[in-house]
Amino acid sequence: MKRTPARMGRSRLSVAALAVTALLAGGPALGQPGSRLPVAEGLWVDTGTACESATQAYVHRGNRFGHVYFYGPDRSMGPSLEVEEVGHVSDGRDGFTVVNDGPIEVAAGRDRQMIVRAYSLVEGEVWRETLRLCSLESFSPRMRAALSPYAVAETGERSPNPPGDAQRWQTARVAEGGLGAYVAGPQAVPVTVLRCEGGTAVLHLNLAGLSATAPQAVEFVGSASGRRAGLTVSRNRQTGHWSAAAGAEVIGLLAGTDPSAELRIAGRALASLSLAGSSAAIGQALSDCPSEAGRAAATTAAASGVAPAPPLGLVPGHYVQEGSPCGRPEGGVFYYDGRRWGLIYPENGLEALAPVGRPVRTGAGWEMEDGLLVEMLSPTRMRWTYEETAPPMRLCPAAQIPAGLRVP
């Protein structure tokens, strides 16, 4: 599910956004100025959840809008900070405001409430949530810590700036309708962009000051893990920027758990790139890219370090058919958390969940007690067979799954 925010005045266009536009000159135009959303700034929680027990909240602050949440078993992982700049807003149906190009839309509800929904021109309304404002002080200590950078004081004065745009991965809309994930960096590498082009994940680098014309060997080294991944980039003679198809290893490192990565060229350290927010941004930008690299980005972002759970050996979470958007899954949602599992469809909802029980190992998979066979293709990919074999399914971030199909 794409989550993006609200107001973007020309004077507040970030240096990063301008750098991205320049990097992709002659191609996509990223993010035009937008207008304020029709709801108050603040921290928003589902009306059925007490502020102090909330593990997820929407944020609306100035030109930023999005979702902050904990995930995994007992919400022990996170937080995931999916708070981004808006590219533009437009009028939707039923009085809703479309954030960027959808599917997320917002509207003002009764009694100062906010309504958030996913809307498809083909399927209509997919899901909706009704939310109310909560003060920062009303949240639990760990939610308060996660939300404090985005809090708005009751006086209307904003708290100190949230994590800097220039050091955090974000997404921006491109002309063809897709998303690009980008981060601004130091002077040597002003901006780095990942986007899906013709079904392939492509990395773009603005290597300022590099006068070479021959292809260059680039290597990323994780600051905490020491993990290495490399590729060879070529220079665009017209723009002077460098790019290459990004393999699963490169994307897995950039979207992984390291706080930063050192960028090296021909073995020489050139710059350190922040990886803050990279899992969410890259996962969103490449979630529908059909290449292996695109799938690696989506699953890495969804897993974010969560270990596979026995007995099936899958990372806990929601799985949808590959090629199907997480927010509009085809063929239902497969859910597994080590204790429960189920094939969830709109007509059966969470009633489909059942205890994992004692599945039997059979060849490449596990036979569940009702006879369904689950085959693990990787810790974040699987497929099931019951009379017929379904297409492979990939792990999706819980926040992108429609509410009616999402296990809380």
pLDDT tens for residues 304-324? 556 678 888 888 999 998 777
**Closest to 310 measured CA to CA, from 341, 343, 342, 337:** 337
CB 360 within 8 A of CB 367: yes
Domain check: are 20 and 73 in the same one?
Answer: yes
Q: Distance (Å, rounded) from C-alpha 350 to C-alpha 404?
A: 8
CB atoms within 10 A of CB 372: 18
Q: Which CATH number do you get for residue 259?
A: 2.60.40
CB 380 within 8 A of CB 372: no
Show which of 238, 257, 292 is a domain's final residue. 292
End-to-end CA distance of the chain: 16
Domain check: are 275 and 368 in the same one?
Answer: no
CB 301 within 8 A of CB 201: no
Domain check: are 261 and 178 in the same one?
Answer: yes
CB 30 within 8 A of CB 204: no
| Token output for 154 | 């009751």
What mean pLDDT comes out for the span 65-72?
Answer: 80
Domain check: are 172 and 153 in the same one?
Answer: no
Residue 301 lies in a domain: no
| Token output for 295 | 């799938």
Q: How many residues does the chain have?
A: 408
Confidence class for position 376, pLDDT limits 50, 70, 90: confident
pLDDT-above-70 percentage for the chain: 78
Residue 144 lies in a domain: yes
pLDDT tens for residues 6-41? 222 222 233 344 444 444 433 333 333 334 688 888
Q: Distance (Å, rounded) from C-alpha 356 to C-alpha 38?
A: 44
Domain limits for position 390? 307-405
Amino acid letter, 408: P
Q: What is the DSSP string of 337-405?
A: -SSEEEEE-TTTGGGG-EE----EEETTEEE-TTS-EEEEEETTEEEEEESEEPPPEEEE-GGGS-GGG
| Token output for 227 | 């993990």
Show which of 101, 136, 162 is a domain's final residue. 162
Distances (CA, A) of 37 to 62, 117, 393: 9, 14, 35
pLDDT tens for residues 190-208? 778 888 887 788 898 888 6
Q: What is the largest CA-CA distance in the chain?
A: 63
pLDDT at residue 94 in the model: 87
Number of domains observed in the structure of the chain: 3
Q: Give the residue, 348 or 160, on which the prediction is more confident.
A: 348
Residues 6+ apart with CB under 8 A from 349: 404, 405
CB 395 within 8 A of CB 302: yes
